[in-house]
Amino acid sequence: MTDHYAVFGNPVVQSKSPMIHARFAAETGQDMDYVKIEAPVDGFADALRAFVDKGGRGCNVTAPFKLEAYALATEHTQAARMAGSTNTLRFDGNRIEAHNTDGVGLLRDIQDNLGHSLKGKRILMLGAGGAVRGAALPFLQAGPAEFALLNRSVDKAQAICDMLKDHGEIVLCDPVRAKGYDIVLNGTSSSLGGSCPTMPDGVFDGCALAYDLSYGKGLTPFLQAAQKAGVPQLADGVGMLVEQAAEAFAWWRGTTPATTDLIREMTIPLT
């Protein structure tokens, strides 16, 4: 019997998830389908229940429903609790289990696909939203010398630091001394609007990798600034997209799909 999965969002027409999961299912021999469901902004809970009642086994969740999905869940993984939101649910009777795969997906892309170990490195993350919260614990578990956050709202960044202070060296970035980072990541929404996040002068000095969590935008203003500063490697979030999907797929199906070829096919040259 075919198992049913979906991605919920509003809008959701742009989602690449059905294509990605269809590819994973074909390559791993899984009998499943995966569709897009655009739920009304005020009707996510009803749409989710209707999906479950029709035999839905699990789903991904994108904007604007990640917080509501977290609140509806009856159980939460550590990754979901740390992020305070969920992008992945699975269903078992009356149980709704919540997971967050964004952080693991980002970490795998940087370390496994791009070849940059975080161990002993100095990392700077711009932003303090849900994606950053999701990435923080996996990053700290990778053993960086320092994981610094820089955000317009200092309170939001400080809250993440306070939450994870016992897990590693996570600090607020001092804009006056924001230099010497091995990896600089843009976790803000600036690239979605075609703008560049506010950054201190010299932020790319000594940087080996500049990574924009947005994907499919080509050479974003953030990556343009990195390129102009001479950063030798640039990447957007397409690898993160595929890797977080692979983590969700493994959580649902118990088998981990290959990702390398799909990432290569989906990557837009950053020129």
Question: What is the C-alpha separation between 88 and 178, in angstroms, rounded?
Answer: 35
User: How confident is residue 130, by pLDDT bands cut at 50, 70 and 90?
Assistant: confident
CB 199 within 8 A of CB 179: no
CATH 3.40.50.2020 fits 103-238, yes or no: no
Task: Outline which parts of the chain fall under CATH 3.40.50.720.
Answer: 103-238
Task: Outline which parts of the chain fall under CATH 3.40.50.10860.
Answer: 3-100
Question: From the annotation, which residues make up the binding site for NADP(+)?
Answer: 127-131, 213, 237
Q: Is the pLDDT of residue 216 over 90?
A: no
Cα radius of gyration (the chain)? 18
Q: What is the CATH number of domain 3-100?
A: 3.40.50.10860
pLDDT of residue 194: 87
Per DSSP, the three-state class of 245 is helix
pTM score of the predicted model: 0.94
Question: From the annotation, which residues make up the binding site?
Answer: 15-17, 62, 87, 102, 127-131, 213, 215, 237, 244
Enter the DSSP assignment of 224: H
Percent of the chain scoring above 70 in pLDDT: 100
pLDDT of residue 193: 85
CB 137 within 8 A of CB 106: no
| Residue 66 annotated in active site | yes
Q: Is the pLDDT of residue 228 over 80?
A: yes
Question: What is the C-alpha separation between 235 and 115, in angstroms, rounded?
Answer: 12
H or E element, residue 76:
strand 75-76
Q: Is the pLDDT of residue 211 over 90?
A: yes
Find the catalytic residue in 36, 54, 66, 121: 66
- 21-52 confidence digits (pLDDT tens): 999 999 999 999 999 999 999 999 999 999 99
| Residues recorded for the chain | 271
- 169-206 confidence digits (pLDDT tens): 999 999 888 899 999 999 998 888 889 999 999 999 99
- 59-114 confidence digits (pLDDT tens): 999 989 999 999 999 999 999 998 888 999 999 999 999 999 999 999 999 999 99
Q: Report cis status (omega within 30 of 0) of the bond before 232.
A: no
Look at phi and psi of residue 179 and say left if phi exceeds 0, alpha if psi is from -120 to 50, else beta: beta
